[in-house]
Structure 1
Amino acid sequence: MSVNKLNDNKLKALLRNPPQKETWIADGDGLTLRAQISGNLTWYYRYRLGGRESKGERLCLGKYPDLPLAAARKLKDKCRAWLAESKDPRFMLDKESQQSLAPITVKDALEYWLDNYAVYNRKNHERHRAQLSAHIYPVIGSLPLHLTDRRHWLDALEAITRKGSPIAAGYVLQMCKQALRYCDRRGYATSMALERLTIPDVGKKQAKDDRVLTDNELRDLWCWLMNDGVQPYYRDLMKLIMVFCARTKEVRLSTWDEWDLENKLWTVPKENSKNGNRITRPIPDRVLPWLVDMRQRNEGPFILGEFKEDTAVSQNTRGFYKRLKHKESWTVHNLRHTFITKNADLGAPPHVVELLAGHELGGVFSIYNRAEYLQEKLQVLNRYLDRLELLAEPQENVIPATFNRTA
């Protein structure tokens, strides 16, 4: 079948001298011109969705000369490509038109993810929104998403690194990639601009923090806490984190209704745990007097007596190592690394330590094994308390502790 039968001279002649009756003129490959007595020339694309047996469709592409011959042929080729992919050209053309008239912007897509996913699944979603508002929206937020390519995103992400925050740049990249994938899965908007970018392309990964306190550092900290070296809120917070291998958030948000002093159980609710699972920890006998004292001192629902934001707690605790004159810095989170490592040295069962830390067990354990291991947990906690108390003794009295697997 011959194609490109029309040319601009023929089209201009039809404009000057309209036909005496409505006429259809084929250009080839489905592109057809409708010439009316009024002088209107309109482009149409003729096609069938289901082969020769299906009903013929006629799709209006636009009017000549507003839509020139070359542009009409390009649009026809696009329709043919959609048809080859089993996509209805009418639907696809309408979708493109909507994008052109009211395109979904970068900000629209990221806000869609924040409002429909992050708010319900990310506890720090407000931080995500603040980072996007600070780093992405001012640079490319108003650009149509489907017209935004990799260089636009790099302009925004590399600017974060230039400001001295390469780790934040990598964090924002990962967040934006997840947001665009979510939008694509939901059929809201599609962009593949970030798919081949990795964190080293825009910044750097956060270094793995596996700092473990030495026995001397543990001794300094434990003696400092037991001798009221810091205000009660942070003293109680640190002691509970050290003894239970708890996350800061679990203690910071803990209320008295989680603590069953009669049955000696602390149950962290799902909403306060990082992985959304309930965590049950037994309470050692020697910890009960601490809790009774805290209950008498602290009014209100929180076991620490008041609610403090995580940023305030982080800011106040980050300098504790300096107050103890430790040469190498450590954070409150490193107390969990220390608990896990020291208990491994003591020979404690790894799965019990992982459960105390609030980690999910891998493999079939995560599916079939729902045991709480309360007795085993209590043994681990008591053994670690023994170790802390021994460290506080004069060095000549210290006897190395081991884990009694038969106890």
Structure 2
Amino acid sequence: MALSDTKLRSIHGKPYSGPSEVSDADGLSVRISPKGVITFQFRYRWNGKPQRLGLGRYPAMPLKDARTLVGELRLMYDGGKDPRTYFENTTGESMMTVGDCLCYWKEQYVDVALRPMTRALYTSTVIKHLGNAFPGRAIGDITVKQWVDFFAKEEKENPRRARQLLSQARTAIGWCIRRQVIDNASIMRISPRDVGVRAETGSRVLTYSELAGIWIAIERSRAATSNKLLHQMLMLWGARVSELRLSERREFDLSEGVWTVPKEHSKMNNVIRRPIFEQIKPLLEKAMQTYDQVLFPGADTEAPITIAAANRYILRIREGMDIGYWRAHDFRRTLVTRLSEEGVAPHVTERMLGHELGGVMAVYNKHDWIEDQRRAYELHADKLFWHIRKAAG
């Protein structure tokens, strides 16, 4: 009978009198002690003799990770390699520090398997903030109390970030444990729900008066032209920040009036087409006249403005206003909400956001509704600019 999380949770840590071994598939099974201690193992035959490899204990190793690991071991076995070599450790990893572990995870997994935007996220968060944690100490020697004290300090600075850092650290360190780079780490015993606060699902919908106030504040701010244009165009297009931030001149076809976002710049790895409508064309042309291939550069004119610099700019704008908390991502929600109030169809607003359509339509309907998008964007821009003129007197 295959294993399940429900079954394992019902057994873990409780008196147990059932079978001492329960099989799953592909050689994966668990050994269960009378006290409910569950250990994953991989069983196979090598040179005619039965072999058993311990993989890790539940719940520090989730069932899905055990299955993933067994899949890798099975590939080795089918390729004629002894799975025991997967766990050979000859480079002194048992003395790995937190920084060593994060570096190994980054080099062997993050930089190899993840997309650039995800790599940048991990680099700017967990690797930046935990890379120098507990210097010179083996990760296995750090106690739960010491980890709790570390994250308590992070909570005081930024509760949301503290929880995010713990979740990401558990991901990285769990990866190292599954590959037997380290034996264990007490951080895996701390639940993210016990640290900081969960990032709230965005719900802010700005009014046109608030959008106008933000636009004027951006216009009057002392910032680089690229940063100002970036956020004003985000307000009009409702694009994700990185879709526009990373954009290059070649993506914009002024003759056809279409901006094509390549899949490597989109969150969902899909090509997105948006119209270059009348009200946004002057802003786009200004960016093209001011800069070269990279239309929204930072200090280095050959590279896009960083997400950190863009976020700092919005923080300065927000602190100078009295309209409560908002962020650039709220421009997307505001665009769609306000246009829905005007009767713009959902399939059009979904395309404006760069979303794929659901169900069978996602498979068969690849139409972009460019002209419908154009009319909707022009309606949104007309309303915004009317409120800007009103606010500016």
Tell whether the structures are fold-level matches, with TM greater than 0.5.
yes
What is aligned with 2:21?
A: none
**AA aligned opposite 2:237:** F
Counterparts of 1:244-259 in structure 2, within 5 Å, are: 244-259=237-252
Q: CA deviation at 1:360?
A: 4.8
Q: CA deviation at 1:256?
A: 0.8
Check 1:151–1:368 CA distance in 2 against 1; reply closer, same or farther (3 A cut). Answer: farther
Q: CA deviation at 1:266?
A: 0.8
What is aligned with 2:311?
A: 314
Are the counterparts in 2 of residues 212 and 337 from structure 1 also a CA contact under 8 Å? yes
Q: 1:308 and 1:247 mapped to 2: Cα distance?
A: 14
What is aligned with 1:207?
A: 200
Give secondary structure in 2 for the equivalent of 1:123.
helix
Are the counterparts in 2 of residues 157 and 202 from structure 1 also a CA contact under 8 Å? yes
What is aligned with 1:129?
A: 127
Counterparts of 1:1-400 in structure 2, within 5 Å, are: 103=94, 105=96, 107=98, 108-120=100-112, 121=114, 122-127=119-124, 128-134=126-132, 136-138=133-135, 142-143=137-138, 145=140, 150-151=144-145, 153-161=147-155, 163-184=156-177, 186=179, 188-189=181-182, 191=184, 193=186, 197-222=190-215, 228-230=219-221, 232-296=225-289, 298-304=290-296, 306=301, 307-321=304-318, 323=320, 325-366=321-362, 369-392=365-388
Q: CA deviation at 1:262?
A: 0.9
Q: 2:319 and 2:152 mapped to 1: Cα distance?
A: 34
What is aligned with 1:28?
A: none
**AA aligned opposite 1:103:** S
Give secondary structure in 1 for the equivalent of 2:264.
helix
Are the counterparts in 1 of residues 226 and 287 from structure 2 also a CA contact under 8 Å? no
Listed one character per residue, the Cα deviations across residues 75-132 of structure 1 (whole Å, up to 9, x for unaligned) are xxxxxxxxxxxxxxxx999999969976263534433221122224222232232122
**Larger RCO of the pair (alpha carbons < 8 Å, separation 6+):** 2
Check 1:93–1:361 CA distance in 2 against 1; reply closer, same or farther (3 A cut). Answer: closer
Q: Give the unaligned 5+ runs of structure 1.
A: 1-48, 58-90, 396-407
**AA aligned opposite 2:312:** Q
Q: CA deviation at 1:175?
A: 0.7
Check 1:143–1:392 CA distance in 2 against 1; reply closer, same or farther (3 A cut). Answer: closer
**AA aligned opposite 2:106:** L
Q: 1:387 and 1:345 mapped to 2: Cα distance?
A: 13
Give secondary structure in 2 for the equivalent of 1:114.
helix
Are the counterparts in 1 of residues 208 and 383 from structure 2 also a CA contact under 8 Å? no
Q: CA deviation at 1:260?
A: 0.8
**AA aligned opposite 1:284:** F
**AA aligned opposite 1:303:** L
Q: 1:185 and 1:373 mapped to 2: Cα distance?
A: 47
What is aligned with 1:61?
A: none
Give secondary structure in 2 for the equivalent of 1:285.
coil
Q: 1:209 and 1:173 mapped to 2: Cα distance?
A: 21
Q: 1:363 and 1:184 mapped to 2: Cα distance?
A: 39
Q: 1:165 and 1:224 mapped to 2: Cα distance?
A: 26
Q: CA deviation at 1:248?
A: 2.5
**AA aligned opposite 1:132:** L
Q: CA deviation at 1:149?
A: 6.5
Q: 1:150 and 1:174 mapped to 2: Cα distance?
A: 15
Check 1:151–1:328 CA distance in 2 against 1; reply closer, same or farther (3 A cut). Answer: closer
Q: 1:299 and 1:164 mapped to 2: Cα distance?
A: 37
Check 1:98–1:215 CA distance in 2 against 1; reply closer, same or farther (3 A cut). Answer: closer
Q: 2:185 and 2:316 mapped to 1: Cα distance?
A: 43
**AA aligned opposite 1:117:** Y
Are the counterparts in 1 of residues 243 and 265 from structure 2 also a CA contact under 8 Å? yes
Q: 2:138 and 2:335 mapped to 1: Cα distance?
A: 49
Listed one character per residue, the Cα deviations across residues 174-208 of structure 1 (whole Å, up to 9, x for unaligned) are 11222234335556555485556432312222233
Q: How large is the Cα RMSD of the aligned pairs? A: 3.8
Check 1:137–1:291 CA distance in 2 against 1; reply closer, same or farther (3 A cut). Answer: same
Are the counterparts in 1 of residues 93 and 181 from structure 2 also a CA contact under 8 Å? no
Check 1:236–1:102 CA distance in 2 against 1; reply closer, same or farther (3 A cut). Answer: closer
Q: 1:98 and 1:295 mapped to 2: Cα distance?
A: 54
